[in-house]
Amino acid sequence: MAIIQFPEGFRWGAATASYQIEGAYNEGGRGPSIWDTFCSTPGKVKDGDNGNVACDSYHRYEEDIEIMKNLGISVYRFSVAWPRIVPDGDGAINQEGLDYYHRFVDKLLEAGIEPYCTLYHWDLPQALEDQGGWNNRKTVDAFVRYAEIMFKEFNGKIKQWITLNEPWCSSFLSNYLGVHAPGNKDLQLAVDIAHNLLVAHGLTVKSYRNHGYDGQIGYAPNTTWIDPYSSNNQQDIDAAAREVGWFVEWFFDPIFKGEYPAFMVDWFKSKSIELHIQPGDMEIISQPIDFLGINYYTGHVCRYKEGGGLFDSELIELGYERTDIGWPIYAEGFNNVLQHITQRYGAIPIYITENGACYNDEPVNGRIQDTGRIDYLKKHITQVNRAIASGVNMKGYFTWSLMDNFEWAEGYTMRFGLVHVDYNSLVRTPKDSFYWYKKIIANNFYEV
């Protein structure tokens, strides 16, 4: 048995998002979001599910914080529902919404758990979508105003801020592939929205700095790692680089280098896609940040194939184990992408803001034996440790997710939680993975 030891002061946490757990969709002055609309559109979400109730954490947050205390986490990543704070996106402030998050944050702090607050985890107010959504620069301005409301209101209580969760999903998955709200299928639109999201991020960071708040601010892009099928075939190497670049360089280079990656810009131009950059945008986007959040779940191997999707590539099945959502388990890719990021952008402090697995184990005699999730987490946390040993400036790890919840277009069919939620009774039951993770948190090491 080998001991996998983590540095002193390493932070262990768990993560959730507002629309996935809160429910109370029409309570407390909350306005509708694009996900309320998307869920009510037939055929968009499996089984016609929605987040109207979800885990009912809006009413059960004290119980959920007790679960966090039992788990032993020192940090908790959650998101604020923009429509709870500004119901129409850019008008009157909803005091009931602010009061709710004050109660929630106060309870977290009382429990000795530091809040890491994500400002945007996809629940755009529908009123802004009706005016063009993220394709309208007015939405950028509205986001900055909403962020400033939160910064001022929670100054001294929340000291760790994340502007955007997974901008790739908010742009390409939602507006090119059409899988998530609002469900568009337009590549130019998606590229434009990706840019506007980054401008919103930059302006928000700039505002945070200008006001001199005590704390740190970053963002949390999702990543993947694609290896080339052949390390001797330049076409394979280039195809894999484009697949990774779509997630990494496209959303990292503007922030850390002040420019878009030339190889990706050229590729998009070959598809008749243009970048619509206004004067000063790149300077705004490249505001220095305090930390980088990394979300990682899966990776793959690909090779060049002319006409193969957007990037002339095809994924090659090598007999991977897969989680219940169908994603390949590619733990080595986790270390690879972390080292790639550090080599390209420097030793910026990194938190793993999401990493976890979907296994749909149900209770048997009151126990949920989710051995698949434990195995997945062990493999991936070991890769985090490898990255630390290789010089990656790693500060903490948040597993996804604290509890089973509304899994976006998959509805309630896919479970990512350490805690099982019965969606009828809303009873929470810690799984075996909960107790396994609890031991790691308590000891700061584990055996492999």
Active site residues: 166, 354
User: Which tokens is 150 given?
Assistant: 């939160």
Residue 119 amino acid letter = L
Token code pair at residue 61: 């947050």
Residue 446 near residue 4, CB atoms below 8 Å:
yes
With helix as H, strand as E and coil as C, how does the chain read? CCEEECCCCCEEEEECCHHHHCCCCCCCCCCCEHHHHHHCCCCCCHHHCCCCCCCCHHHHHHHHHHHHHHHCCCEEEEECCHHHHCCCCCCCCCHHHHHHHHHHHHHHHHCCCEEEEEEECCCCEHHHHCCCHHHCHHHHHHHHHHHHHHHHHCCCCCCEEEEEECHHHHHHHHHCCCCCCCCCCCHHHHHHHHHHHHHHHHHHHHHHHHCCCCCEEEEECEEEEEEECCCCCHHHHHHHHHHHHHHCHHHHHHHHCCCCCHHHHHHHHHCCCCCCCCCCHHHHHCCCCCEEEEEEEEEEEEEECCCCHHHCEEECCCCCCECCCCCECCHHHHHHHHHHHHHHHCCCCEEEEECCCCCCCCCECCECCCHHHHHHHHHHHHHHHHHHHCCCCEEEEEEECCECCCCHHHCCCCCCCCEEECCCCCCEEECHHHHHHHHHHHHCEEEC
Q: Residue 129: which residues within 8 A CB-CB, separation 6 or more?
A: 34, 37, 182
CA distance 176 to 185: 4
Question: CA of 13: how far to CAs of 3, 93, 334, in Å?
Answer: 21, 31, 18
Phi-psi region of 269 (alpha: psi -120 to 50; beta: other; left: phi over 0): alpha
In terms of phi and psi (left: phi > 0; alpha: psi -120 to 50; beta: otherwise), the region of 349 is beta
